[in-house]
Amino acid sequence: MTKSRFQEELLRIMDRKHHWAWPAFANGTVTIDQLKRHFQQEYGVYVRDFPVFLARIHGKNPPPPVRRMLADNIYEEDTGGLSLGKSHPELFLTMMAGLGLPAQDFELVRLLPPSRQYRAWLDRVSNNRDWVVGAAALTIFVEGSIKDRAEIADPSKPKTAEEIEGIVQRHPLVKYHGLPLDAMDLIRAHQMVEAGHRHDAYAMVVNYATTRAQQQAVLTCLKKCLTIWQTYRDAVAKACGLKKTSR
């Protein structure tokens, strides 16, 4: 299929990356204890080891432009070298400490069965012999969201320090849970490096998955990512005591 058609198929999958429990986390409904359960699963499944997933794909020796994009991503994730000088997992734990959740709460996380399944799937796809399949799973699906279509249509521009602080101050963890602003450097780091990031991820996959077999493999992978992710998010919501309400 053409590149534009392929990209549209990718976006159609990402249009469905939404979960019914998200509003509870965004509007202050959940408690700190519920947030703890949510964040423990997120940390154990992919936050802590996201640079490792990317490094596996880089190690498959993709073309030089792709290696450069992956290397930049790994460098930022593992060192914060393009933003605030601290790794994203470290900044995540700083944010958790701001909620009163110490680092030891995240050292030996007991993953829920669907969490283990999602983690095992990410381990598997990041080791896929075709690097473009792993790149799609990690840089499009895991890093992406339902907002991807809007971002691709109108890529975000670099933000000023004032704009970033405004985003930080409006963040649900600050607004509803009183998270200290000095614990929000993970959000600042994301905002500092995100300009064009989604566009780069899609370009990497769309420009290099050129055969029909590759395109189908990528789409099949992302559809499975979505299915496993939805089951994972259902389990986390249940562990948090959240219930889906009928409309």
**Cα separations in angstroms, 79 against 71, 104, 126, 182, 189:** 12, 21, 20, 19, 11
- Give residue 126's identity as a one-letter amino acid code: S
**Cα separations in angstroms, 128 against 25, 49, 59, 156:** 33, 17, 11, 31
Structure tokens given for 80: 């914060």
CATH of 3-240, one of 1.20.1070.10, 1.20.910.10, 3.40.50.2300, 3.90.230.10: 1.20.910.10
- Give residue 188's identity as a one-letter amino acid code: R
**Cα separations in angstroms, 221 against 10, 118, 122, 208:** 11, 13, 10, 16
Tens of pLDDT, residue by residue, the chain (247 residues): 999 999 999 999 999 999 999 999 999 899 999 999 999 999 999 999 999 999 999 999 999 999 999 999 999 999 999 999 999 999 999 999 999 999 999 998 999 999 999 999 999 999 988 999 999 999 999 999 999 999 999 988 899 999 999 999 999 999 999 999 999 999 999 999 987 789 999 999 999 999 999 999 999 999 999 999 999 999 999 999 998 876 5
Instruction: In whole angstroms, give the CA distance from residue 133 to residue 216.
Output: 10
pLDDT at 245: 76
Instruction: In whole angstroms, give the CA distance from residue 140 to residue 204.
Output: 10
Q: State the virtual CA torsion across 43, 124, 130, 215 in degrees, nearest 10.
A: -80
For the chain, domain boundaries = 3-240
Instruction: In whole angstroms, give the CA distance from residue 179 to residue 169.
Output: 10
CB 139 within 8 A of CB 145: no
In eight-state DSSP terms, residue 200 is: H
For residue 28, how many C-alpha atoms fall within 13 Å in the half-sphere facing its CB?
10
